[in-house]
Amino acid sequence: MPDGARGDAALPPPENDVAAVFYDGSSNRKRRVDLQFNTQLDIVEDGSVIASWPYADIRQVDSTRAMRLSSVSAPALARLEIEDKATAGRIAALCPSLDAAQSGKQTGRIVAWSLAAACSIILVTVFGIPLIADRMAPLVPFAIEQRMGEAVDRQARAILGGRECTDPQGQAAFTKLVTKLKDASGFDTPLDAHVLSSSIPNAFALPGGKVYLLDGLLAKARDVDEVAGVLAHELGHAHNRDGLRKMIQTGGSSFLIGLLFGDVMGGGAVLFAARSILDASYSRDAETRADDFAIHGMHALGRSPEPLGELLVRMTGGSRVATIIDSHPVSAERLERMKKDARPVTGAPILTGEEWKALKDICKAERGHTSAGARPPRRTANQEKDKAAKEGR
Protein backbone atom coordinates (compact mmCIF):
# COMPACT_ATOMS: atom_id res chain seq x y z
CA MET A 1 0.00 0.00 0.00
CA PRO A 2 1.43 3.43 -0.87
CA ASP A 3 2.77 5.63 1.90
CA GLY A 4 0.13 7.88 3.41
CA ALA A 5 -2.76 5.66 2.29
CA ARG A 6 -5.63 4.99 4.62
CA GLY A 7 -5.52 1.69 6.41
CA ASP A 8 -7.96 -0.38 4.39
CA ALA A 9 -6.52 -3.88 4.09
CA ALA A 10 -9.74 -5.19 2.58
CA LEU A 11 -9.20 -3.25 -0.63
CA PRO A 12 -8.35 -5.37 -3.71
CA PRO A 13 -5.09 -4.64 -5.53
CA PRO A 14 -5.30 -1.37 -7.49
CA GLU A 15 -6.08 -1.57 -11.18
CA ASN A 16 -3.99 0.59 -13.48
CA ASP A 17 -4.94 2.45 -16.63
CA VAL A 18 -8.21 3.90 -15.36
CA ALA A 19 -9.61 6.59 -17.69
CA ALA A 20 -10.04 10.16 -16.42
CA VAL A 21 -10.06 13.78 -17.60
CA PHE A 22 -7.14 16.08 -16.73
CA TYR A 23 -6.65 19.85 -16.85
CA ASP A 24 -2.99 20.73 -16.30
CA GLY A 25 -3.68 24.20 -14.86
CA SER A 26 -1.74 26.08 -17.52
CA SER A 27 -4.42 25.90 -20.23
CA ASN A 28 -8.13 25.05 -20.47
CA ARG A 29 -7.46 22.06 -22.74
CA LYS A 30 -9.37 18.93 -21.78
CA ARG A 31 -7.01 15.91 -21.82
CA ARG A 32 -8.10 12.27 -21.78
CA VAL A 33 -5.66 10.41 -19.54
CA ASP A 34 -5.14 7.10 -17.75
CA LEU A 35 -4.46 6.78 -14.03
CA GLN A 36 -1.88 4.40 -12.58
CA PHE A 37 -1.90 3.63 -8.85
CA ASN A 38 1.77 3.33 -7.95
CA THR A 39 3.65 4.81 -4.96
CA GLN A 40 1.81 7.97 -6.01
CA LEU A 41 -0.99 8.66 -8.47
CA ASP A 42 0.55 8.78 -11.94
CA ILE A 43 -1.36 10.62 -14.67
CA VAL A 44 -0.53 9.09 -18.06
CA GLU A 45 -1.17 10.42 -21.56
CA ASP A 46 -0.23 8.41 -24.66
CA GLY A 47 1.90 6.08 -22.57
CA SER A 48 3.93 8.82 -20.86
CA VAL A 49 3.57 10.04 -17.28
CA ILE A 50 2.73 13.75 -17.49
CA ALA A 51 2.12 14.34 -13.77
CA SER A 52 2.51 12.49 -10.48
CA TRP A 53 0.42 13.42 -7.46
CA PRO A 54 1.39 12.19 -3.98
CA TYR A 55 -1.68 10.68 -2.33
CA ALA A 56 -1.23 12.88 0.75
CA ASP A 57 -1.41 16.02 -1.43
CA ILE A 58 -4.67 15.18 -3.18
CA ARG A 59 -7.76 17.17 -2.23
CA GLN A 60 -11.37 16.89 -3.40
CA VAL A 61 -12.85 20.00 -5.05
CA ASP A 62 -16.59 20.75 -4.89
CA SER A 63 -18.37 19.08 -7.81
CA THR A 64 -21.97 18.04 -8.48
CA ARG A 65 -21.20 15.04 -10.68
CA ALA A 66 -17.76 13.49 -11.17
CA MET A 67 -15.17 13.35 -8.39
CA ARG A 68 -13.03 16.42 -9.01
CA LEU A 69 -9.52 16.52 -7.55
CA SER A 70 -6.69 18.99 -7.08
CA SER A 71 -3.24 18.64 -5.55
CA VAL A 72 -1.51 21.06 -3.21
CA SER A 73 1.77 20.29 -4.98
CA ALA A 74 0.36 20.89 -8.50
CA PRO A 75 -0.51 24.16 -10.26
CA ALA A 76 -3.40 25.90 -8.50
CA LEU A 77 -5.88 25.35 -11.35
CA ALA A 78 -4.87 21.75 -12.17
CA ARG A 79 -7.86 19.43 -11.96
CA LEU A 80 -8.53 15.72 -12.35
CA GLU A 81 -12.08 14.49 -12.99
CA ILE A 82 -13.11 10.88 -12.33
CA GLU A 83 -16.59 9.54 -13.15
CA ASP A 84 -16.06 5.85 -12.39
CA LYS A 85 -17.45 5.14 -8.90
CA ALA A 86 -15.07 2.27 -8.19
CA THR A 87 -12.08 4.46 -9.02
CA ALA A 88 -13.49 7.28 -6.90
CA GLY A 89 -13.79 4.85 -4.00
CA ARG A 90 -10.17 3.79 -4.38
CA ILE A 91 -9.05 7.41 -4.46
CA ALA A 92 -10.98 8.05 -1.26
CA ALA A 93 -9.26 5.08 0.40
CA LEU A 94 -5.74 6.03 -0.71
CA CYS A 95 -5.80 9.76 0.01
CA PRO A 96 -5.62 10.53 3.76
CA SER A 97 -6.26 14.26 3.34
CA LEU A 98 -8.88 14.13 0.60
CA ASP A 99 -11.39 16.16 2.61
CA ALA A 100 -8.84 18.42 4.31
CA ALA A 101 -9.11 22.20 4.14
CA GLN A 102 -8.28 23.70 0.76
CA SER A 103 -4.82 25.04 0.05
CA GLY A 104 -3.95 28.64 0.81
CA LYS A 105 -4.27 29.62 -2.83
CA GLN A 106 -7.71 28.05 -3.15
CA THR A 107 -8.86 29.55 0.14
CA GLY A 108 -7.58 32.93 -0.97
CA ARG A 109 -9.59 32.62 -4.15
CA ILE A 110 -12.79 31.95 -2.19
CA VAL A 111 -12.05 34.82 0.19
CA ALA A 112 -11.45 37.10 -2.80
CA TRP A 113 -14.78 35.99 -4.31
CA SER A 114 -16.60 36.71 -1.04
CA LEU A 115 -14.98 40.13 -0.72
CA ALA A 116 -15.90 40.87 -4.32
CA ALA A 117 -19.51 39.96 -3.56
CA ALA A 118 -19.54 42.22 -0.50
CA CYS A 119 -18.02 45.12 -2.43
CA SER A 120 -20.50 44.55 -5.24
CA ILE A 121 -23.42 45.08 -2.87
CA ILE A 122 -21.99 48.47 -1.91
CA LEU A 123 -21.27 49.42 -5.52
CA VAL A 124 -24.80 48.60 -6.71
CA THR A 125 -26.09 52.06 -5.91
CA VAL A 126 -23.12 53.69 -7.66
CA PHE A 127 -22.62 51.74 -10.87
CA GLY A 128 -25.85 49.79 -11.30
CA ILE A 129 -26.74 46.12 -11.48
CA PRO A 130 -25.73 45.35 -15.11
CA LEU A 131 -22.12 46.35 -14.54
CA ILE A 132 -22.01 44.43 -11.26
CA ALA A 133 -23.42 41.32 -12.96
CA ASP A 134 -20.68 41.44 -15.58
CA ARG A 135 -18.06 41.66 -12.84
CA MET A 136 -19.61 39.08 -10.53
CA ALA A 137 -20.55 36.28 -12.95
CA PRO A 138 -16.98 35.14 -13.76
CA LEU A 139 -16.19 34.94 -10.03
CA VAL A 140 -19.04 32.60 -9.08
CA PRO A 141 -17.72 29.00 -8.82
CA PHE A 142 -19.23 26.79 -11.51
CA ALA A 143 -20.42 24.26 -8.91
CA ILE A 144 -22.57 26.98 -7.33
CA GLU A 145 -23.88 28.02 -10.74
CA GLN A 146 -24.86 24.39 -11.39
CA ARG A 147 -26.82 24.29 -8.11
CA MET A 148 -28.60 27.47 -9.14
CA GLY A 149 -29.38 25.97 -12.54
CA GLU A 150 -30.85 22.82 -10.96
CA ALA A 151 -33.14 24.94 -8.79
CA VAL A 152 -34.25 27.19 -11.65
CA ASP A 153 -34.73 24.16 -13.91
CA ARG A 154 -37.59 22.79 -11.80
CA GLN A 155 -39.39 26.13 -11.86
CA ALA A 156 -38.81 26.64 -15.60
CA ARG A 157 -40.32 23.23 -16.40
CA ALA A 158 -43.33 24.01 -14.21
CA ILE A 159 -43.84 27.37 -15.92
CA LEU A 160 -43.67 25.84 -19.41
CA GLY A 161 -45.80 22.85 -18.45
CA GLY A 162 -43.99 20.66 -20.95
CA ARG A 163 -42.66 17.16 -20.42
CA GLU A 164 -39.23 16.06 -21.57
CA CYS A 165 -39.30 14.32 -24.96
CA THR A 166 -37.75 10.87 -24.83
CA ASP A 167 -38.33 9.12 -28.18
CA PRO A 168 -35.19 6.93 -28.49
CA GLN A 169 -34.45 7.69 -32.16
CA GLY A 170 -35.13 11.37 -31.65
CA GLN A 171 -32.93 11.41 -28.56
CA ALA A 172 -30.09 9.76 -30.50
CA ALA A 173 -30.35 12.39 -33.24
CA PHE A 174 -30.51 15.23 -30.71
CA THR A 175 -27.48 13.90 -28.82
CA LYS A 176 -25.54 13.64 -32.09
CA LEU A 177 -26.45 17.21 -33.04
CA VAL A 178 -25.53 18.65 -29.63
CA THR A 179 -22.27 16.69 -29.48
CA LYS A 180 -21.20 17.94 -32.90
CA LEU A 181 -21.96 21.54 -31.96
CA LYS A 182 -20.24 21.21 -28.58
CA ASP A 183 -17.06 19.76 -30.08
CA ALA A 184 -16.95 22.17 -33.03
CA SER A 185 -17.46 25.29 -30.93
CA GLY A 186 -15.00 24.40 -28.18
CA PHE A 187 -17.62 24.28 -25.41
CA ASP A 188 -15.42 23.08 -22.53
CA THR A 189 -17.73 22.93 -19.49
CA PRO A 190 -20.41 20.35 -18.58
CA LEU A 191 -23.47 20.59 -20.83
CA ASP A 192 -26.96 19.25 -20.10
CA ALA A 193 -29.30 19.60 -23.11
CA HIS A 194 -32.95 18.54 -23.41
CA VAL A 195 -36.02 18.83 -25.65
CA LEU A 196 -39.31 19.77 -23.98
CA SER A 197 -42.82 19.30 -25.35
CA SER A 198 -44.22 22.82 -25.71
CA SER A 199 -45.98 24.61 -28.54
CA ILE A 200 -43.90 27.74 -27.85
CA PRO A 201 -41.25 28.13 -30.58
CA ASN A 202 -38.30 28.91 -28.35
CA ALA A 203 -34.98 27.74 -26.93
CA PHE A 204 -33.17 28.96 -23.84
CA ALA A 205 -30.16 28.42 -21.61
CA LEU A 206 -30.17 28.27 -17.80
CA PRO A 207 -27.22 28.74 -15.46
CA GLY A 208 -24.89 25.78 -15.07
CA GLY A 209 -24.76 24.64 -18.70
CA LYS A 210 -28.43 23.69 -19.10
CA VAL A 211 -29.82 24.19 -22.62
CA TYR A 212 -33.40 23.54 -23.74
CA LEU A 213 -35.03 23.26 -27.15
CA LEU A 214 -38.83 23.46 -27.26
CA ASP A 215 -40.83 21.31 -29.67
CA GLY A 216 -42.60 24.39 -31.04
CA LEU A 217 -39.34 25.57 -32.58
CA LEU A 218 -38.70 22.16 -34.14
CA ALA A 219 -42.14 22.41 -35.76
CA LYS A 220 -41.22 25.80 -37.27
CA ALA A 221 -37.80 24.73 -38.54
CA ARG A 222 -37.43 23.71 -42.19
CA ASP A 223 -33.83 22.57 -41.97
CA VAL A 224 -31.57 20.93 -39.39
CA ASP A 225 -29.14 23.82 -39.91
CA GLU A 226 -31.78 26.23 -38.60
CA VAL A 227 -32.07 24.19 -35.40
CA ALA A 228 -28.29 23.80 -35.22
CA GLY A 229 -27.89 27.57 -35.47
CA VAL A 230 -30.37 28.14 -32.64
CA LEU A 231 -28.70 25.52 -30.41
CA ALA A 232 -25.23 26.91 -31.17
CA HIS A 233 -26.52 30.34 -30.17
CA GLU A 234 -27.85 28.94 -26.86
CA LEU A 235 -24.54 27.18 -26.27
CA GLY A 236 -23.00 30.62 -26.64
CA HIS A 237 -25.24 32.00 -23.89
CA ALA A 238 -24.35 29.04 -21.66
CA HIS A 239 -20.63 29.38 -22.40
CA ASN A 240 -20.73 33.11 -21.65
CA ARG A 241 -22.76 32.53 -18.43
CA ASP A 242 -25.44 34.94 -19.62
CA GLY A 243 -28.15 33.14 -17.61
CA LEU A 244 -26.18 33.75 -14.43
CA ARG A 245 -25.73 37.41 -15.37
CA LYS A 246 -29.48 37.67 -15.95
CA MET A 247 -30.21 36.20 -12.52
CA ILE A 248 -27.88 38.72 -10.87
CA GLN A 249 -29.30 41.62 -12.90
CA THR A 250 -32.96 40.86 -12.26
CA GLY A 251 -32.46 39.80 -8.64
CA GLY A 252 -30.79 43.09 -7.76
CA SER A 253 -29.12 43.75 -4.46
CA SER A 254 -31.23 41.15 -2.62
CA PHE A 255 -29.88 38.45 -4.92
CA LEU A 256 -26.30 39.64 -4.34
CA ILE A 257 -26.81 39.49 -0.59
CA GLY A 258 -28.13 35.94 -0.95
CA LEU A 259 -25.15 35.07 -3.13
CA LEU A 260 -22.78 36.40 -0.49
CA PHE A 261 -24.38 34.45 2.38
CA GLY A 262 -25.09 31.29 0.38
CA ASP A 263 -28.89 31.61 0.32
CA VAL A 264 -29.73 31.85 -3.39
CA MET A 265 -32.11 28.88 -3.53
CA GLY A 266 -35.18 30.38 -1.84
CA GLY A 267 -38.42 29.38 -3.56
CA GLY A 268 -39.59 32.92 -4.32
CA ALA A 269 -36.18 34.00 -5.58
CA VAL A 270 -35.86 30.92 -7.79
CA LEU A 271 -39.34 31.38 -9.28
CA PHE A 272 -38.55 35.02 -10.00
CA ALA A 273 -35.23 34.05 -11.56
CA ALA A 274 -36.85 31.38 -13.76
CA ARG A 275 -39.46 33.82 -15.07
CA SER A 276 -36.83 36.48 -15.69
CA ILE A 277 -34.70 34.13 -17.79
CA LEU A 278 -37.68 32.82 -19.79
CA ASP A 279 -39.39 36.19 -20.32
CA ALA A 280 -36.70 38.87 -20.37
CA SER A 281 -34.55 39.64 -23.38
CA TYR A 282 -30.77 39.60 -23.46
CA SER A 283 -28.74 42.73 -24.09
CA ARG A 284 -27.42 43.53 -27.55
CA ASP A 285 -23.87 42.74 -26.40
CA ALA A 286 -24.96 39.34 -25.05
CA GLU A 287 -26.74 38.52 -28.31
CA THR A 288 -23.69 39.56 -30.33
CA ARG A 289 -21.39 37.33 -28.28
CA ALA A 290 -23.78 34.38 -28.61
CA ASP A 291 -24.03 35.01 -32.37
CA ASP A 292 -20.23 35.02 -32.58
CA PHE A 293 -20.15 31.66 -30.81
CA ALA A 294 -22.82 30.21 -33.12
CA ILE A 295 -21.15 31.50 -36.28
CA HIS A 296 -17.81 30.02 -35.21
CA GLY A 297 -19.42 26.65 -34.47
CA MET A 298 -21.31 26.48 -37.77
CA HIS A 299 -18.20 27.48 -39.72
CA ALA A 300 -16.19 24.78 -37.91
CA LEU A 301 -18.75 22.21 -39.14
CA GLY A 302 -18.49 23.50 -42.69
CA ARG A 303 -22.01 24.91 -42.53
CA SER A 304 -23.38 28.40 -43.00
CA PRO A 305 -24.96 30.41 -40.15
CA GLU A 306 -27.42 31.99 -42.59
CA PRO A 307 -30.27 29.50 -41.84
CA LEU A 308 -30.44 30.87 -38.29
CA GLY A 309 -31.13 34.29 -39.76
CA GLU A 310 -33.74 32.80 -42.11
CA LEU A 311 -35.57 31.21 -39.17
CA LEU A 312 -35.55 34.46 -37.19
CA VAL A 313 -36.89 36.41 -40.19
CA ARG A 314 -39.81 33.97 -40.57
CA MET A 315 -40.62 34.38 -36.89
CA THR A 316 -40.69 38.18 -36.79
CA GLY A 317 -44.27 38.35 -37.99
CA GLY A 318 -47.24 39.67 -36.05
CA SER A 319 -47.89 36.60 -33.90
CA ARG A 320 -48.76 37.31 -30.26
CA VAL A 321 -47.45 33.92 -29.15
CA ALA A 322 -44.20 34.07 -27.18
CA THR A 323 -41.31 33.11 -29.42
CA ILE A 324 -37.54 33.05 -29.47
CA ILE A 325 -37.73 36.62 -30.78
CA ASP A 326 -39.06 37.85 -27.42
CA SER A 327 -36.03 36.72 -25.46
CA HIS A 328 -33.53 37.07 -28.31
CA PRO A 329 -34.35 40.39 -30.00
CA VAL A 330 -33.56 40.54 -33.69
CA SER A 331 -31.93 43.61 -35.15
CA ALA A 332 -31.12 44.48 -38.74
CA GLU A 333 -27.45 44.38 -37.75
CA ARG A 334 -27.74 40.78 -36.50
CA LEU A 335 -29.44 39.56 -39.66
CA GLU A 336 -26.97 41.43 -41.85
CA ARG A 337 -24.12 39.88 -39.88
CA MET A 338 -25.39 36.35 -40.55
CA LYS A 339 -25.71 37.09 -44.26
CA LYS A 340 -22.23 38.59 -44.30
CA ASP A 341 -20.77 35.52 -42.58
CA ALA A 342 -22.58 33.07 -44.86
CA ARG A 343 -20.14 30.67 -46.50
CA PRO A 344 -20.40 27.93 -49.11
CA VAL A 345 -21.35 24.63 -47.49
CA THR A 346 -18.23 22.46 -47.35
CA GLY A 347 -19.12 20.04 -44.56
CA ALA A 348 -21.39 17.02 -44.59
CA PRO A 349 -24.99 17.46 -43.42
CA ILE A 350 -25.06 17.58 -39.63
CA LEU A 351 -27.77 14.91 -39.55
CA THR A 352 -28.98 12.47 -42.17
CA GLY A 353 -32.49 12.81 -43.55
CA GLU A 354 -33.71 9.97 -41.31
CA GLU A 355 -32.08 11.52 -38.25
CA TRP A 356 -33.63 14.90 -39.00
CA LYS A 357 -37.07 13.31 -39.26
CA ALA A 358 -36.46 11.47 -35.98
CA LEU A 359 -35.52 14.75 -34.32
CA LYS A 360 -38.65 16.43 -35.66
CA ASP A 361 -40.67 13.55 -34.17
CA ILE A 362 -38.86 13.41 -30.83
CA CYS A 363 -41.98 14.63 -28.99
CA LYS A 364 -44.50 12.49 -30.87
CA ALA A 365 -45.46 10.51 -27.75
CA GLU A 366 -45.91 13.69 -25.74
CA ARG A 367 -47.93 15.58 -28.35
CA GLY A 368 -49.91 12.55 -29.55
CA HIS A 369 -49.07 12.67 -33.24
CA THR A 370 -46.15 12.55 -35.65
CA SER A 371 -45.08 14.81 -38.42
CA ALA A 372 -45.29 11.98 -40.95
CA GLY A 373 -48.32 13.43 -42.66
CA ALA A 374 -47.07 16.97 -42.68
CA ARG A 375 -46.64 18.79 -45.95
CA PRO A 376 -42.96 18.78 -47.03
CA PRO A 377 -41.41 22.18 -46.28
CA ARG A 378 -39.74 24.36 -48.86
CA ARG A 379 -36.00 23.75 -49.12
CA THR A 380 -33.76 26.24 -47.37
CA ALA A 381 -30.49 27.67 -48.67
CA ASN A 382 -28.27 25.00 -47.10
CA GLN A 383 -30.54 22.19 -48.33
CA GLU A 384 -30.28 23.53 -51.88
CA LYS A 385 -26.48 23.65 -51.54
CA ASP A 386 -26.38 20.05 -50.25
CA LYS A 387 -28.60 18.91 -53.14
CA ALA A 388 -26.42 20.71 -55.67
CA ALA A 389 -23.27 19.16 -54.20
CA LYS A 390 -24.73 15.65 -54.48
CA GLU A 391 -25.68 16.25 -58.11
CA GLY A 392 -22.23 17.59 -58.91
CA ARG A 393 -23.45 21.02 -59.94
Q: How far is CA 79 from its chain centroid?
A: 19
What digits encode the pLDDT tens for the residues 305-316? 988 888 877 776
Sign of CA dihedral 5, 11, 15, 18: negative
Least confident of 4-13, 53-62, 240-249, 346-355: 4-13
Cα–Cα distance between 94 and 4 in angstroms, integer?
Answer: 7
pLDDT at 242 over 50: yes
Least confident of 39-48, 199-208, 237-246, 263-272: 263-272
Length of the chain counted residue by residue:
393
pLDDT value at position 10? 42
The arithmetic mean of pLDDT across residues 149-163, rounded, is 79
pLDDT value at position 16? 53
Least confident of 11-20, 154-163, 168-177, 328-337: 11-20
**Helices 284-300 and 224-239, interaxial angle, to 10°?**
120
pLDDT at 233 over 80: yes
Cα–Cα distance between 165 and 359 in angstroms, integer?
Answer: 10
Question: Which of 227 and 108 is assigned the larger pLDDT?
Answer: 227
Domain boundaries along the sequence of the chain: 18-94, 119-368+381-390
Question: Which of 258 and 14 is assigned the larger pLDDT?
Answer: 258
pLDDT at 75 over 80: yes
List C-alpha distances in Å: 368 to 44, 169, 365, 376: 51, 16, 5, 20
What digits encode the pLDDT tens for the residues 118-138? 555 555 544 455 566 667 777
Closest CA to 238 of 315, 299, 163, 149: 149
pLDDT value at position 144? 78
Closest CA to 305 of 238, 381, 235: 381
pLDDT at 145 over 90: no
Least confident of 108-122, 156-170, 346-360: 108-122
What digits encode the pLDDT tens for the residues 162-186? 789 989 999 999 999 999 999 999 9
Sign of CA dihedral 344, 348, 353, 356: negative
Scored b (16 or more CB within 10 A) or e, 160-177 reads bebeebebeebbebbebb
Strand partners, 80: 22, 69
pLDDT value at position 223? 92
CATH topology of domain 18-94: PH-domain like (2.30.29)
Q: Please spell the DSSP secondary structure of 279-293, one letter per residue.
A: HSPPPHHHHHHHHHH
The arithmetic mean of pLDDT across residues 97-125, rounded, is 58
Closest CA to 214 of 379, 374, 327: 327
The arithmetic mean of pLDDT across residues 284-309, rounded, is 91
